[in-house]
Amino acid sequence: MTVNPEKLLFAKTHEWVGVEPAAGGKVATVGVSAFAVEALTDLVFMQLPQVGQKLKAGEALGEIESVKAVSDLYSPVDGEVIEVNSALPNHLETLSSDPYGAGWLVKIKLTDETALKNLVDYAAYQKMCAEESH
Amino acid sequence: MTSTLAKTPLHDWHASHGGRLVDFAGWSMPVQYGSIVAEHNATRTAAGLFDVSHMGRLKFSGDGAAAFLDSLVTRRITDMEPGQVRYGLVTNERAGILDDVLVYRIAQTDGTEYYLMVVNASNRAKIIVWINSKLGDHANVRFADITTDTAMIAVQGPLALELVDLRIDCELEEMKYYHASEALVGDQLAIVSRTGYTGEDGCELMIPARIAAETWEGILKDGQQRGAMAAGLGARDTLRLEAAMPLYGHELNDETNPLEAGLNFAVNLDNRTFPGSGVLSAVKRDGVKRTRVGLELTGKRVPREHYGIFAGEQSIGEITSGTFSPTLQKPIAMGYVPPNYAKVGTELSIDLRGAKEPATIVKLPFYKRKS
């Protein structure tokens, strides 16, 4: 199911975050913004983390490679990877067709919510992208 | 930021047609309009149009022009026929490559002649300084940088000659490869050459800046139905890499000599001297210490510039360019290794950001068009 991007939070490094309550805390679903996917184009390879990996906000959680260049994907939150979209690396086209749905990357169980304060809302992110594309 | 960058006569066209503009050697240039792979494939199967107006155009005229150029580049210029184009290197005293260039001998309709040297945008200023430092004893040579007088458009691919033929008053199909001629585009004087940098047949047009946009749009319109596309620097890079053409700043630099770069065909040492020719004679006698090779990988991760090449645990060289080849559908790269590791079929590995992945030495070019 595709999430309305206007309800998501965004990192300056172009990952999106959807936070939902779950048993014993909160879980963040993390993906890559449509803006970033379009900018990358011609994707050829993606590496995602293992379930159980502990991440701090700003740490690389994986990488994505296009014909042109390789980019790190960063965790926008502190937590532990509890689920990985393992179908995605073999179907990179899903990232373009459904970046806010089937193109999600990982689900992270939050260990600390402080990092959420560094994320911006949809309107602020759109403004940032508009400036970046100039 | 873009205001400080030089703009080609086609800049407004690129900006208004979705060109993703980047700073390339001080010029605002389109890296892609949409997908690099789509532009790459269009060039292989139909035609790609590339704005290469940023390339430096240097004009040499006067009686001493050929002799002067002969004293400057690795290939003989004095025996070039009118209308011929020759690839060569400008080298320093250590035989390091200052630039790789095309020299055109242009015969004008009025019976006079001149030589044109097309240089890389990134090296234009450096080469002009180098030329001026060498001009001292050549009072009979007139030298001018005419880069900004014209636009330069490369049309490459199986449809290229046919599409450009519709626009010019000369029969391109009858022109030999690596030849050039004056021609009229409408009533405007242009230079057309059967040259390019994609591994495809094609041509390059130098035309007055004021007719650049209409010529570009005309060629594109004529070819669009059959798959022709505007293509950016991104596709230009993947195409030239498949064709194993070296790129200055990557395979070539002033620490690399033409023989280790595998450009023996562009070095003529018979009874002639140019900067570094003595060094090159010694290299030819003693053998190169490293050589340019092609590598193929089986995974999807792409080797990039500066990644280490290993034989077992031993570091033996470095990648100079790599990409995911749209034509071959696998990662390919060029780099330098000692000659004893350069044999086709040699199994090596490449450090892909901490993980060593197997790579095999393959014959260059990776792609060769069927003629």
Nearest chain A CA: its distance from B286 CA (Å): 38
> Cβ B35–A63 below 8 Å, yes or no?
no
**Chains A, B: CB contacts under 8 A, how many?**
36
- pTM of this prediction? 0.95
Which of residues B89 and B353 earns the better pLDDT score? B89
Name which of A63, A65, A68 is nearest B36 (Cβ-Cβ). Answer: A68
Distance from CA of A47 to the nearest CA of B (A): 9
Nearest by CB to B323, which of A45, A63, A67? A67
d(CA B359, CA B361) in angstroms, rounded, equals 7
Per-residue pLDDT band for A134 (boundaries 50, 70, 90) equals low
Strands of A13-134, DSSP E: 15-22, 25-32, 43-47, 54-55, 60-66, 70-74, 78-84, 106-112, 120-121
Band of pLDDT at residue B109, cut at 50, 70 and 90: confident
Contacts of B370 (CB under 8 A, 6+ apart): none
pLDDT of B221 strictly over 70:
yes
At residue A60, φ and ψ (nearest 5 deg) are -70, 130
Per-residue pLDDT reduced to its tens digit, B122-147: 999 999 999 999 998 888 999 999 99
* Model ipTM over 0.90: no
Distance separating alpha carbons of residues B262 and B43, to the nearest angstrom: 26
Q: What percent of chain B has pLDDT over 70?
A: 99
| B241/chain A closest Cα distance in angstroms | 12
Q: What is the mean pLDDT of residues B343-370?
A: 96
- Which residues from B are below 8 Å from A42, CB to CB? 35-37, 324
* pLDDT tens, residue by residue, A46-89: 999 999 999 999 999 999 999 999 999 999 999 999 999 999 99
Q: What is the per-residue pLDDT for B3?
A: 67
How far does A117 lie from chain B, in Å, by closest CA? 31
Say if the Cβ atoms of B35 and A68 lie within 8 Å: no
Beta carbons of B302 and A44 less than 8 Å apart: yes
- Dihedral Cα A8, A11, A17, A20, nearest 10 deg: -80
Query: How confident is the model over B217-233, as a mean pLDDT?
Result: 98
Q: How far apart are CA A134 and CA B102, in angstroms?
A: 35
Give contacts of A96 with chain B, Cβ < 8 Å: none
Mean pLDDT of chain B: 96
Taking CB atoms and an 8 Å limit, are A45 and B300 in contact across chains? yes
Nearest CB partner across the interface for B324, out of A41, A63, A67 = A67
Tell me the C-alpha distance between B315 and A103, whole Å. Answer: 38
Percentage of the residues of chain B whose pLDDT score is greater than 90: 95
- Whether the pLDDT of residue B183 is over 90: the answer is yes
Q: Which of B2, B3, B21, B37 to mutate to test the interface with A (most CBs of A within 10 A)?
A: B37
Residue among A67, A131, A132 with most chain B CBs within 10 A, to mutate: A67
Cβ–Cβ below 8 Å for B36 and A69: no
